[in-house]
């Protein structure tokens, strides 16, 4: 986890509004827009336009935020047998996961220690697959933890 901010009731309300009105993330690498990999219980497909949503509303009517992403970068060698590569595409698979630290440790969102402690929900040396997620990150007061730099009202 890089950083966190616990949302107030007003900020949680604003985030729910943004999810309801289909706000999206748009990332660019080497002037190439991201494609989104959608993986649900019925099928897996790639969507090439519009970035990916910041969250979704579940069948339980609760709102969930995508707070974890897998990046897949495709590249090829510019000239065979020489150094130099060109990015030819990249994909994002957004995931909602309520992260927990090993041993139930709680981070204050500021100390350097929180950036290096291991997460129970995610390993540094293995990709997190969406089917491995046991608890989604719900949008509610004192529940969501987001990067302060990324969230503005």
Which carries the bigger pLDDT value, residue 7 or residue 148?
A: 7
Q: Is the pLDDT of residue 58 over 70?
A: yes
Q: What's the rounded mean pLDDT across residues 23-47?
A: 79
Domain boundaries, the chain: 9-132
Which carries the bigger pLDDT value, residue 104 or residue 73?
A: 73
Show the tokens assigned to 129: 């697959």
Q: What is the pLDDT of residues 88-142, one digit of tens each?
A: 988 888 888 887 777 777 776 667 666 667 777 776 666 677 777 778 889 988 7
Show the tokens assigned to 16: 């729910």
Give me the pLDDT at residue 142, please: 76
pTM for this one? 0.77
**How many residues does the structure list for the chain?**
153
The β-bridge relationship of strands 35-39 and 44-47 is antiparallel
């Amino acid at each position: 986890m890089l950083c966190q901010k616990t949302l107030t009731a007003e900020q949680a309300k604003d985030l729910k509004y943004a999810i309801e009105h289909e706000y999206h993330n748009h990332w660019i690498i080497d002037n190439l827009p991201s494609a989104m990999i959608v993986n649900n219980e019925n099928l897996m497909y790639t969507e090439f336009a519009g970035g990916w949503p910041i969250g979704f509303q579940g069948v339980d009517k609760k709102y969930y935020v995508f707070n974890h992403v897998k990046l897949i970068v495709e590249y090829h060698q510019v000239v065979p047998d020489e150094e130099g590569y060109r990015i030819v595409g990249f994909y994002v698979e957004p995931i909602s996961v309520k992260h927990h630290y090993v041993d139930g440790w709680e981070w204050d969102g500021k100390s350097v220690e929180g950036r290096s402690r291991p997460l129970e929900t995610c390993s540094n040396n293995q990709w997190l697959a969406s089917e491995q997620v046991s608890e989604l990150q719900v949008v509610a007061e004192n529940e969501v933890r987001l990067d302060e730099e990324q969230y503005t009202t």
